[in-house]
Amino acid sequence: MRLSFRRPVPRARARRAALGALPLAALLALAAPRAAHAFPDHTLTMVLPYSAGAGDATYRALADFLSRSLGQPVVVANRDGGSGVVGMRSVAAAAPDGHTFGLTPMTAIVVQPHLLRNAGIGPDSFDAVCGTNENVLGIVVRADSPVHTLPELVAEGKRRPMSFGSPGPNSLPQLAVWRVQRATGVEFNHIPYRGEAPHLNDVLGGRLDFSAAVVASAAEMIASGRMRLITVFSANRHPDFPDVPTAREQGIDALQFSQVGIYAPRGTPEPVLDRLEAACRAGIEDSEVRRVMAQGRVVPRYLPRAELSRMIREEYVNYGRILRELGVQPE
């Protein structure tokens, strides 16, 4: 009887041989959990796709919290241009590993792609992480204006030509006024500006009749008595100005909200998104972040990523329809 002995294959060598027989997709699947488990392993970048402004204090406070929560520095980078498109395009092009993400109002994702032929981004370019706050939109007039309510503004606009400013062409504040025009038949002359401060200053200087703006940008002027807030376009009243009714409460169906959220590049691993989402939620609930938000008149509005993802897809379709109704052509 002849016995045959086979030399045992070393365990590491056998494992390499087994892995070598696996297709590439399977190897990547095996590697993904390990990469996600190590997240984050270096500095993270939070892109703000606008020039530095009043809201930066809130988002930098949130970045500080995320840094403590995730155990790595979070660097805030302002990348202005194209009404948010330039900065969010850089996010979409980043490695989908969770180390780069953007914090933006939804305008850059749901409105601007309809306006710019070469925007290069849209809802499918990103994985939603979480909603952080709502940019409550409203109409402000100078304190000595005879207009005190939205119906009075409409009546005045039908009586004489009136001009208003907004932070940019086809911005959400401008579209809020468009909703008023569509609901009432009034026509206002729109003068787009670059950013909030210039058109608010022109209202104070008497060069504009009113402004459509993010309420937080005009909050100090309202609180000091230099401006009057006559309405907000959200579903609820602004918590800092509870005496000012919404447009719907004043009998005009003009709901317009602006959700701000965090977005990662498309293809970011689920475990990484889970960790970012959990850190974001804890940040929005953090007492120090809330204090800075309240100081800047920012209204917190946390949304889980599934809800934010659904929202931007629905709003992308809605704004495409609205802009077609307005006859706006992409440039």
d(CA 300, CA 58): 10
Q: What is the pLDDT along the chain (331 residues), one digit of tens a residue?
A: 444 434 444 544 544 444 454 554 444 444 444 455 689 999 999 999 987 765 688 999 999 999 999 999 999 999 988 888 999 999 999 999 999 999 999 999 999 999 988 899 999 999 999 999 999 999 999 999 999 999 999 999 999 999 999 988 888 999 999 999 999 999 999 999 888 889 999 999 999 999 999 999 999 999 999 999 999 999 999 999 999 999 999 999 999 989 999 999 999 999 999 999 999 999 999 999 999 999 989 999 999 999 999 999 999 999 999 889 888 888 7
Contact 150, 252 (CB under 8 A): yes
Q: Residue 216 maps to which CATH number? A: 3.40.190.10
Domain shared by 82 and 100, yes or no: yes
Q: Which amino acid is at 300?
A: P
CA 161 → CA 51, 83, 187, 238, 330, distances in Å?
33, 28, 8, 29, 28
d(CA 310, CA 324): 22
User: Which tokens go with 173?
Assistant: 């504040």
Q: Residue 69 maps to which CATH number? A: 3.40.190.150
pLDDT of residue 17: 47
d(CA 40, CA 20): 28
List alpha helices for 111-232, DSSP H. 112-115, 150-159, 172-184, 197-204, 215-223
Domain shared by 169 and 263, yes or no: no
Domain shared by 303 and 212, yes or no: no
Q: How many domains does the chain have?
A: 2
Domain shared by 233 and 288, yes or no: no
Rg (CA), the chain: 25
**Residue environment code for 162-174, b if the CB has 16+ CB neighbours within 10 A, otherwise e:** bebbbbbebbbbb
Domain shared by 229 and 151, yes or no: yes
- List the beta bridge partners of residue 299: 134
- List the beta bridge partners of residue 189: 163
DSSP state of 317: H
Domain shared by 234 and 267, yes or no: no
Domain shared by 166 and 299, yes or no: no
User: Which tokens go with 157?
Assistant: 């606009």
Instruction: Flag whether 53 is in a domain.
Output: yes
d(CA 48, CA 78): 5
Strand 299-304 with 100-105, pairing: unpaired
**Strands, sheet with 163-166, edge to edge from the N-terminal-most edge strand:** 189-192, 163-166, 210-214, 137-142, 227-232
CA 127 → CA 51, 100, 136, 204, distances in Å?
23, 12, 24, 41
pTM (predicted TM-score): 0.82
Domain residues for the domain of 294 are 43-133+258-325
Instruction: Flag whether 114 is in a domain.
Output: yes
User: Which tokens go with 224?
Assistant: 């000091």
Domain shared by 98 and 235, yes or no: no
pLDDT of residue 5: 39
Domain shared by 271 and 288, yes or no: yes
Helix (H) / strand (E) element for 164: namely strand 163-166
Instruction: Flag whether 103 is in a domain.
Output: yes
Instruction: Flag whether 20 is in a domain.
Output: no
**Cα–Cα nearest to 281, from 57, 115, 95, 131:** 131
Domain shared by 200 and 295, yes or no: no
pLDDT of residue 302: 97
Provide DSSP, 100-139: EEEEEETHHHHTHHHH-TT----GGGEEEEEEEEE--EEE
Instruction: Flag whether 27 is in a domain.
Output: no
Among residues 234, 250, 266, the one where a domain terminates is 250
For residue 173, what are the contacts with CB-CB under 8 A and spacing of at least 6?
137, 166, 167, 211, 212, 213, 214, 256
Domain shared by 73 and 128, yes or no: yes
**Strands, sheet with 100-105, edge to edge from the N-terminal-most edge strand:** 74-78, 44-48, 100-105, 259-265, 126-134, 299-304
pLDDT of residue 37: 61
Domain shared by 297 and 318, yes or no: yes
Among residues 197, 226, 250, the one where a domain terminates is 250
Among residues 250, 274, 291, the one where a domain terminates is 250
Instruction: Flag whether 221 is in a domain.
Output: yes
Helix (H) / strand (E) element for 210: namely strand 210-214
Instruction: Flag whether 154 is in a domain.
Output: yes
d(CA 13, CA 237): 67
Instruction: Flag whether 124 is in a domain.
Output: yes
> What is the CB neighbour count within 10 angstroms for residue 306?
10
